[in-house]
Amino acid sequence: MRRRFGENTRSVHLPVAEPPAQTPLGQPVWRNAAWAFENSADYADVLGGRAPGYAYSRIDNPTTASFAAAVASLEGAAAPEDVAGQAFASGMAAVTAVFMTFLRSGAHVVAPAPVYDGTYSLLTNVLGRFGVTADFVDYSDLTRVHAAIRSSTKIIYAETLADPTMTVTDIRGLYQLARAAGAVLVVDSTFATPVVCRPLEHGADLVLHSATKYLGGHDDSTGGVVVGRPALIDKLREVRVDTGGSLSPDDAYLLRRGLETLPLRVRRMCSTAMVFAASVAKHPAVRKVDYPGLPGHPGNELARRLFDAGPEGTRYGGCVTVTPHGGYEAGMTLADGLRLAGVGASVGGTHTKAAHVASSSHRRLGEAALAASGVDAGAVRFAIGLEDAEDLIADVTRALDALRVAGPTRT
């Protein structure tokens, strides 16, 4: 007679459901941290990359791999078989992995002057301690980028749409400079998404996203992703595994689910942002509005060449930066005076959010770096959500009307 297991053993070794023969319409969530094998040889083959499979979720997880592959498919629409991806625990984890993969002590990076605050701090405060140097350059003039390149330049880093100036990057021009320098062209396309622009089609080697933003789209998950040629992504994977910045399967599930409605959400946000920007620009309390869809924006022509268009016209992104007259205090007052748009971090969610740039997203740049980036101390970035355009316009108009009466003067 077969020996009966004890109650503890029976509780541990419960029956496991077999994967169904039918194809699920939604992505299953594999929460496993570890997998078991028939024998040690199979385990060794998977760990050694000699056989496909999963052993430990810090290394690989099917739900996380599915999300990375989905983003690679969207960004590599022109040649999906030539694009692979790796997912990370956050956008900054993705940026860090890219730098750690392609930089060594003594390496040099060229980056845009209005670069994301976290990237700026990583380059100056963290990687600078390990012998990496960086120059932050005005990318509106590629001759300045060319002049900044050195023999030690290993990465030319760019943002498709720069935050908060909404500067449009000449990716094709940067590709020529990167190729001549033997540098890797890395493009942060968080603010554009593949619905607006796919930098790989214009010469980028790697494209990264803070997936927390538009890709997820609901402010309920955190993650990052990098896509590009498989040979480069393979190197990136090694660093991800060694440093441990892997995306959790639950976040991967939510982020991948967000991709299914990405075009619908981004098209709506772009359309609303265009109407919002055009209306707000007319208010007498506003000094300037940064949005590439406006004819007066310096990136308007370039955007029309690079960015996708649909029946609604060219898509210029879902963020608008409004700078009122009156400087720092005016910007704070404007953000605090909103009622529909909330003051908060991140972009790309269903709710419209406003952020006073100098005190929040770019607080670590300092006054000099902000000025060099062309960012006014009063600038307020609006991350447009899915509300009706007329309601958002009424909200900001009321706040601007009150600001005009109060008239803050600090600069």
| pLDDT tens sequence across 322-337 | 999 999 999 999 999 9
Q: How confident is the model at residue 90 (pLDDT cuts 50, 70, 90)?
A: very high
> Which residue, of 259, 277, 300, is where some domain finishes?
259
User: In which domain, by residue range, is 183 found?
Assistant: 61-259
Provide the residue type at 271 as one letter: S
317 in the same domain as 203: no
Q: What is the mean pLDDT of the chain?
A: 94
Looking at residue 411, what is its pLDDT? 42
Does 49 map to a domain?
A: no
Question: What's the pLDDT score for residue 404?
Answer: 76
Q: What is the pLDDT of residue 77?
A: 84
Distance CA 194, CA 262 (A): 9
Residue 386, domain member (yes or no):
yes
Residue 50 lies in a domain: no
| CA 7 vs CA 16, 378, 379: distances in Å | 17, 66, 64
- Residues 87, 93, 98: CA angle, nearest 5 degrees: 80
Confidence grade of residue 27 (pLDDT, cut at 50, 70, 90):
confident
373 has pLDDT over 70: yes
Last residue of some domain: 202, 225, 259?
A: 259
CATH number at residue 241: 3.40.640.10
* Domain identity same for 238 and 382: no
Question: Are 127 and 253 spatial neighbours (Cβ–Cβ below 8 Å)?
Answer: no
| Number of structural domains the chain divides into | 2
What does the pLDDT look like over 132-158, one tens digit per residue? 999 999 999 999 999 999 999 999 999
- Sorted by sequence, the CB contacts under 8 Å of residue 48 that are 6+ apart come out as none
Question: How many angstroms separate the CA atoms of 348 and 362, rounded?
Answer: 18
Give residue-wise pLDDT tens across range 36-74. Answer: 999 999 999 999 999 999 999 999 999 999 999 999 999
Measured distance CA(91)–CA(78) in Å, rounded: 24
In terms of pLDDT, which residue wins out, 409 or 232? 232
Query: How much of the chain, in percent, has pLDDT values that exceed 70?
Result: 97
**248 and 273 together in one domain:** no
Q: What is the pLDDT of residue 299?
A: 95
* Residue 142 included in any domain: yes
Same domain for 362 and 380, yes or no, is: yes
Shared domain check, 185 and 281: no
Confidence at residue 320, expressed as pLDDT on a 0 to 100 scale: 98
Residue 217 and residue 71 share a domain: yes
User: Do 232 and 286 fall into the same domain?
Assistant: no
Same domain, 90 and 218: yes
Q: State how far the Cα of 354 lies from the Cα of 365, in Å rounded to an integer.
A: 19
Q: Is residue 283 part of a domain?
A: yes
Which pLDDT band holds residue 407 (cuts at 50, 70, 90)? low
**Among 242, 259, 276, residue at a domain's last position:** 259
Q: What is the CATH number of the domain that holds 384?
A: 3.90.1150.10
